[in-house]
Amino acid sequence: MLGLMIKKGLPGGLLGTLNIVRGCFLAAGVLTASACQSESKMLATSVTGYNHTSAAINRFSVNGAGGPNLGPHQGGGKQSCCGVVPRHWVPGLRAIVEWEKDPDPRGYIKRDQYGQFDNEDYERHAANYSRHKMIVEIPRYTVAGTLKVHFLPCDQVRVSADNIKPGDSRYPYNYPMEMEEPEICQG
């Protein structure tokens, strides 16, 4: 009789009881796991650049994340991975931009019989490269996006981290790709 009561009182007898217990543990695990997941504070994002000058940007980085090299008056076509930005903009948000500039990107460099740069002539050319570092403010954004670095005349830089493309009226830095370079930069 007791066996009948167990079978009638619990679905599936002892196996049914184990299935109910397993189901409870599974539900508790799912609820616990979903409660532990919270929105991350930082996001990984790609890095791209826009060179508004007649020099070449041989290399650059934003907060240590490298960006693609940029020819004169070029940009936006290549991205590198990965920079990091806060999911939500915070007042005083800044970026450290470091870059190397070639003022004569079309300058002649001798080549050897295999088409490789002549080492001595390359060193002569590379002696004119300049290295720069600047800390710049990142303007307010509502949706975090690609780190976009703009290289401007007189070794000025601007950085945005929004999800808006250059050319859009809401984008903060819609500079022409070929900007006038002054004879003397004010410092």
**Tens digit of each residue's pLDDT (9 = 90 or more) over 88-99:** 999 999 999 999
CATH code at position 152: 2.60.40.2890
Write out the residue range of the structural domain in which residue 143 sits.
Answer: 42-104+131-162
Helix/strand/coil for 85: strand
In a domain, 117, yes or no: no
Residue 85 CB contacts under 8 Å (≥ 6 apart), including other chains: 42, 43, 45, 138, 144, 147, 161
pLDDT at 21 > cutoff 60? no
Nearest to 149 by CA among 88, 87, 101: 101
Cα dist. 127→14, 57, 72 in Å? 83, 15, 19
Q: Which residues pair with 46 in a beta bridge?
A: 81
In a domain, 33, yes or no: no
Strands of the sheet containing 130-137, edge to edge, are: 65-67, 56-62, 94-102, 130-137
Mind listing the pLDDT tens digit for each residue in 25-63? 555 554 444 445 677 899 999 999 999 999 999 999 999
Mind listing the pLDDT tens digit for each residue in 113-128? 999 999 999 999 999 9
Q: Per-residue confidence at 16, pLDDT binned at 50, 70, 90? A: low
Q: Supply the pTM of this predicted model.
A: 0.76
